[in-house]
Homo-oligomer: A and B are copies of this chain.
Amino acid sequence: MTDEGVTVDGDALSPTRVAASRGSRNDQTRRHNLSTLLTAVHYGGPLTRAQLTRETGLNRSTIGGLSAELSALGLVVEDAAAETGSVGRPSLIVRPRPDVIALALHPDVDALELGAVAVDGTVVARRRLGVDAPPSPDDAVAFAAAAAREIAAELGGARVAGAAAAVPGLVAVDGDTVVAAPHLGWRGVAFGTSLTAALGVRSTVGNDANLGLRAEWSYGSARGVDNVVYLNGSASGIGGAALLGGRMLRGGRGYGGEFGHMLIRSDGERCSCGRSGCLETVLNAERLDAAGHDHAAIDALADVLAAAIANLESAFDPDLVLLGGFLGQLFDARRERIASGVRDQAFRPDAEDAAIARAGLGGNRLLIGAAERAFAPLLADPAGVELVRM
C-alpha cells in the first residue's frame, strides 16, 4: 500500500487506540522487513534479490543484509542463477529452504490426517487413519504424535515451524479452544494445548472453513484476492468464511462466518441451531443426493444457492465468491442458472458482478490451510521463532 493509499483510504483502517498501538523501536522495523522478505518468497516462490529490492523499495544493501540474516537463520538459501538472459551481474536467487516445514492435522468424523507441509505449500508427507467412530480429542492427539514420529523418520532432519489443526467446529479466538465441534462430539477442549504438549511444537487450532479459505487465498482459486466469501458444503453442513480487506473475518469470540445459518427461507424447517429456515436445512448434501438427476429439484437447490450468494454479496461486496465441496459441484452443474440468479437478486448498483468460482485446491486444502496458520508466527517474526528439529 502506498503512502497515498493510506491517506485516501482513511476509512479502511479505524484509528487505533493508544493501548493497542505500542511505540515502535528500531528492531521492530528490522522485524517487519525480515517478515516482508520471508513472506515474499513464501508466496512468490523463489525471487532474486534484485526483484526483492524493486518490490520492497528497500535499498540494495539493506536487502543484502536482510537476506543474509534470513540465510543465517536457516530459513532461506541463496543460489546463483542457472541462467540469466540479460546483461549485468546475475542476481542471487532467494528461496525458502525446503526442510522447513509445518505440521497440519485434520481430525474429521471418518478419518484422522496429518501432513507435513513445506514453505512453498507442497505437502511433502502425510499419514491418514480411517476411523469408524468420530475420534476423541485424545485419539486425535495420539494419532498426531505417532504420525509425526513416522513422518520425522521419513523426512529425516526437517525443522518444524509449528503445527495447527483444522477442526470442523467453532474455535475460540485464542486459537486454542475448540468450543464446539458437534459432529466430532467435542466441546470446550483446549486442543491446541494438548497438541503442543504431544508434538513438542507450538500448536494452534482453526476452524476448517477459515483455514480452507486461507489455503485458497494462498495457493488456490482466491490467490491474492482480498475480498472473498467462501462457502463449503460438506456432509456436516455448510461452513463459511470471509476474507475482508485481506483479513479473515473472525468476530468477537471467533465464531464469525457461520453462513450455513443465514436465513434463507422464513417458513423453513427447524435447524439444529434453534432457528428455522437456515441455509443448511434447505441446501445440504442429503438433499443434493436425493435430487439425483431430477432437473427441477437441482434447479431449485441452485436457486437457493443463488439467493444465498446474493445475500452475501449485499452484505460483503466481495470480489469473489468461492464454492467448495458439494456447493462446488452444484455450481458446476448449474453455472449459468446460479450466475444469472445472483445477477438478478444481488444488490449491485452497476453491471459489475462479483466473480463466482469453484475452490481450486483438492484434498490437501485443509492441510495447506492449517500449515499456513502454523507458519504465520514465523512469517511475522522470522528471527523470533525457534524451529524444532524433528
Contacts and interface: CB of A to CB of B under 8 A. Distances in A.
Copies of chain A in the complex: 2
A16 B379 CA distance: 10
A315 B56 contact: no
Contacts of A266: 264-268, 277, 307
Interface in A247-303: 247-259, 261-268, 273-275, 277
A214 to B, nearest CB: 7
Given A23-B36, A42-B15, A55-B19, A267 B267 contact: yes
A317 to B, nearest CB: 2
A48 interface: no
Contact of A23 (B33, B249, B265): B33
Interface stretch (A24-32, A83-91, A137-145, A356-364): A24-32
A11 B376 contact: yes
A170 B348 CA distance: 10
Contact of A62 (B23, B259, B346): B23
Interface residues of A, number: 112
A381 B8 CA distance: 12
A264 to B, nearest CB: 7
A377 interface: yes
Contacts of A261: 314, 347
Interface stretch (A71-79, A125-133, A172-180, A328-336): A172-180
Contacts of A348: 255
Given A18-B36, A345-B275, A316 B246 contact: no
A252 B319 contact: yes
21 contacts: A6-B377, A7-B385, A10-B204, A10-B380, A15-B42, A15-B43, A15-B218, A15-B376, A18-B43, A21-B36, A179-B349, A179-B350, A240-B315, A249-B316, A250-B317, A252-B317, A258-B315, A262-B311, A263-B263, A274-B345, A275-B347
